[in-house]
Amino acid sequence: MAAVQPTTDTERFAQWVTVEKGLSENTISAYQSDLAQFAAFLDSRKTREADRRDIGAYSGKLLNDGLDPSSVARKLSTLRQFYRFLLLDGVITKDPTATIPSPKAWKKIPDFLALAEVEQLLDASRAISYSSHNNNATYLLRRDQAMLELLYASGLRVSELATARMSDLNLESRTLAICGKGEKTRIVPFRQSRSALS
Convert the pLDDT of each residue in 96-153 to its tens digit: 998 888 776 555 556 677 778 877 877 776 666 555 566 666 777 777 777 887 787 7
Same domain, 122 and 75: no
Q: Is residue 150 part of a domain?
A: yes
Tell me the C-alpha distance between 113 and 116, whole Å: 8
* Nearest C-alpha neighbor of 83 from the set 31, 30, 5: 31
Geometric angle at alpha carbon 52, from 97 and 9, rounded to 5°: 60
Q: Is residue 120 part of a domain?
A: yes
Same domain, 184 and 121: yes
Q: Is residue 104 part of a domain?
A: no
Q: Is residue 77 part of a domain?
A: yes
For 29-81, what is each residue's pLDDT tens digit? 999 999 999 999 998 888 999 999 999 999 999 999 988 888 999 999 999 99
Same domain, 122 and 192: yes
CATH number at residue 192: 1.10.443.10
What is the total count of domains within the chain? 2
CATH number at residue 32: 1.10.150.130
Q: Which residues contact residue 14 at a Cβ distance below 8 angstroms, ignoring those fewer than 6 apart?
A: 6, 28, 31, 32
Q: Is residue 51 part of a domain?
A: yes
Same domain, 70 and 123: no
pLDDT band at 5 (very low <50, low <70, confident <90, very high): low
Q: Is residue 4 part of a domain?
A: no
What is the average pLDDT across 4-17? 80
Structural domain harbouring 168: 115-197
Q: Is residue 1 part of a domain?
A: no
- pLDDT at residue 1, rounded to an integer: 45
Q: Which residues contact residue 103 at a Cβ distance below 8 angstroms, ignoring those fewer than 6 apart?
A: 59, 63, 69, 72, 73, 76
Same domain, 78 and 142: no
Same domain, 180 and 126: yes
Same domain, 191 and 119: yes
DSSP letter for each residue of 61-102: HHHHTT--HHHHHHHHHHHHHHHHHHHHTTS-SS-TTTTPPP
* Nearest C-alpha neighbor of 57 from the set 73, 71, 44, 38: 38
For 153-173, what is each residue's pLDDT tens digit? 777 888 888 888 888 888 888
Helix crossing, 52-64 with 25-42: angle to 10°? 100
Same domain, 20 and 78: yes
Tell me the C-alpha distance between 6 and 22, whole Å: 17
The answer to whether the predicted template modeling score (pTM) of the entire model surpasses 0.75 is no
Q: Is residue 61 part of a domain?
A: yes
Specify burial of residue 135 (Cβ count, 10 A radius: 0-12, 13-18, 19+): exposed
Specify burial of residue 78 (Cβ count, 10 A radius: 0-12, 13-18, 19+): buried
Same domain, 120 and 193: yes
Of 27, 53, 88, the position where a domain reaches its end is 88
pLDDT of 186 > 60? The answer is yes
